[in-house]
Chains A and B, each alone.
Chain A
């Protein structure tokens, strides 16, 4: 087995609550939210007309003149570039200190880019033949040729985000993009860490970026009845674990981490933020529409991550405290997810489960879909760094099926009991993809 350890040396995010690492963290601890009516397009007639949007984003403010080379990139790719720049700077990889390109890779869970709506819609409508009630290929193609643009189409390919990041930061090693829905960027982080452990790279840029805040993205989830419809009260719409929860709230953004082989980080004197101690990945193999009712796959992913980290979920320290100090929930705010995830945490920790703080930052950030896992993993590292745990906002009406310590309403200072050493971050995707990443305070 490999004895190469993987540590986190840089982090960056672009979120609806801001782009500054500490600034967003403070807002999360304050239980703040940016959820409100959608600005991006006219969603006034949509049954879910609100979301958690990134506003006022300007790539140049984050990456300077590098923005020129990526001016045509899609929105979520630009989020990824900005987040990666923060992460790379924090890791100290700027200027002449860049890593060896062949030993540096990129593994993202980046989502597809947004459609070129004007031409996409006009082309489909122009192609419609009312008589046969079907699309006429020739008419469709003629309209497509009038407006569709090669670059705008290319930039919708999800792996282009990887291409942009690799180009911007000089990575020529292994390059992957995965799309396991809401689990994608957690999976990318886990698999990226495996690439380093095996010795196929020393440094990886990992994480994800995504936006589905556009008409068909919203429509798809509305038809699935997966999103909250609290149109009158958006700031209280995202309410994971609350009895009155009625679905998730769409968010957008990016989370990127620099992960690195321990000796490589030490040799260059990098500041180590935390260790990627374990990663578990499973499939429910149950149904495309539903989570396994007992959370079998979710529990297996958590157990696997803990096993890799060498942590016994049933053990406590001398003070009776469980060894895992925080579980960052997938916690979407759908009826199904929250009760099943709670059951899965109970299955893993047994009698200790009530003593493990288990909150959802989606109550504040919304659901960043493919970017969620990486952004939430960063909150775990911040918890380790500060000893504080972010709350679950809007948890006001306890649900008997979600009866663990969800840290309702207010952030919690764990420094008096010894701070935060170990966190799990859960990410589950449509179709039964389960990923759990375990991060631990770095100790030599």
Chain B
């Protein structure tokens, strides 16, 4: 029996360079960076003071009226996912439980609709938590676990936390809100693997459709580490560039550059609608690209090698060889060790031909949106394939010799097969081959 094929039929990018297909794609074509001074909180005590903020996204405007109250228990991560999923669903021309009366569109079948949304560890909102903690301090001003306990009842201690406090921070709440809003009753999962969360989720979603457990799935990922705890964790892990007094984020992130000094954090939601190809054809929706191949692998703990295994698996899965790849959309975060790992994998897979393949890292443009990154990268790659156009590339330095990752404007390009791949702190790698839909 022929394998069921999977295509991308809807895109819901929510990013610091714009949200929705039109805003996102035109920013990528123009090469405008969305990285700038952090406004969400006072970041003066951090080394990295620039980031990518998603503007103008209010979850309430992406949910049906009956669900507006539930947005109060959404962490920022869930808000981004909910917004991105709605944009993707509308872009794919779907009519779901999340549609308003009178909206047109293809009515999804709940049992045949899945949801795989990658997420990150969500930090408790500092104001909300600390407001409760400071009611339980001992005489020295230290948080006291005994005073926190409320066995005797009363209004002190943990009773200052809202009853649903924990639910706000469970990573699976991104997918849960989306499944509830849109009425998706098929397989649903929440994959956490830092920057690889989104692409692993897309890959799993494609497998679910291929094995006939769903016809449509809402896939990708979303995350916002743009909060005190999130930014601090990444700073301690030496992921972020020290920015000093700089205000221009477009000059900071330098993929595959030996002088790169780290990446910049961003918020992001990259959610896509994937669909069985015959199903998409039958309802006449445009297919941006086919998900022709997928592969995953694990690096050693030092993260020096491993991506090549995921890429080779994806190529094999797509029935393609290295010679068929016309562009690469990698993470390329501007982190010397991680970039060296990626570069090594590309050299292993593509050999000398690597220098002829345009490499498009979005990190200088949209930053590192963590679990949102894979979906945003896939959205960009799918648009590139669909329009046969490479987006502009920003690069303020000099990429290593032998890789075509330098600055350049957008341009027409013959893109038959494009590779999207991610590496992650923790060593999980993912790769997908997107093919021009025929």
Contact = CB atoms under 8 A, between A and B. Distances in A.
B283 interface: no
Contact of A138 (B44, B137, B158, B300): B44
B146 A45 contact: yes
Contacts of B238: 150
B161 A219 contact: yes
Given A124-B129, A124-B130, A285-B184, A222 B298 contact: no
A390 interface: no
Contact of A231 (B151, B167, B213): B151
A158 B427 contact: no
B207 A219 contact: no
Interface string B122-155: 0010110111011001000111011111111000
Contact of B232 (A2, A102, A130, A144): A144
Contacts of B171: 158, 179
A289 B72 CA distance: 13
Contacts of A171: 298
A294 interface: no
B45 A142 contact: yes
A312 to B, nearest CB: 20
- Between A135, A287, A288, the greatest number of chain B beta carbons within 10 A of the residue's beta carbon is seen for A288
Contacts of A215: 145, 148
Contacts of B161: 219-220, 223
Contacts of A402: none
Contact of B151 (A47, A130, A153, A158): A47
A206 interface: no
Contacts of A195: 207
A174 interface: yes
B121 to A, nearest CB: 5
Contact of B189 (A138, A156, A281): A281
Contacts of B134: 125, 128, 130
B19 interface: no
B302 to A, nearest CB: 9
Contacts of B362: none
Given A150-B236, A167-B301, A223-B163, A125 B427 contact: no
A128 B126 CA distance: 9
Contact of A281 (B126, B143, B188, B237): B188
- Between A130, A138, A171, A283, the greatest number of chain B beta carbons within 10 A of the residue's beta carbon is seen for A283
B43 to A, nearest CB: 6
Interface stretch (B5-13, B173-181, B327-335, B374-382): B173-181
- Between A47, A220, A281, the greatest number of chain B beta carbons within 10 A of the residue's beta carbon is seen for A220
13 contacts: A42-B145, A45-B157, A47-B151, A127-B130, A140-B228, A141-B46, A159-B192, A171-B298, A180-B188, A180-B190, A187-B189, A223-B164, A431-B173
Given A128-B133, A148-B232, 11 more contacts: A2-B211, A45-B148, A125-B134, A138-B45, A148-B236, A154-B425, A157-B121, A173-B309, A176-B296, A219-B166, A296-B185
Interface of B: 1, 41-46, 70, 73, 97, 110-111, 115, 119, 121, 124, 126-127, 129-131, 133-134, 137, 141-143, 145-152, 157-159, 161-167, 170-173, 175-177, 179-180, 182-194, 200, 204, 207, 210-211, 213, 228, 232-233, 236-238, 295-301, 306, 309, 313, 424-429
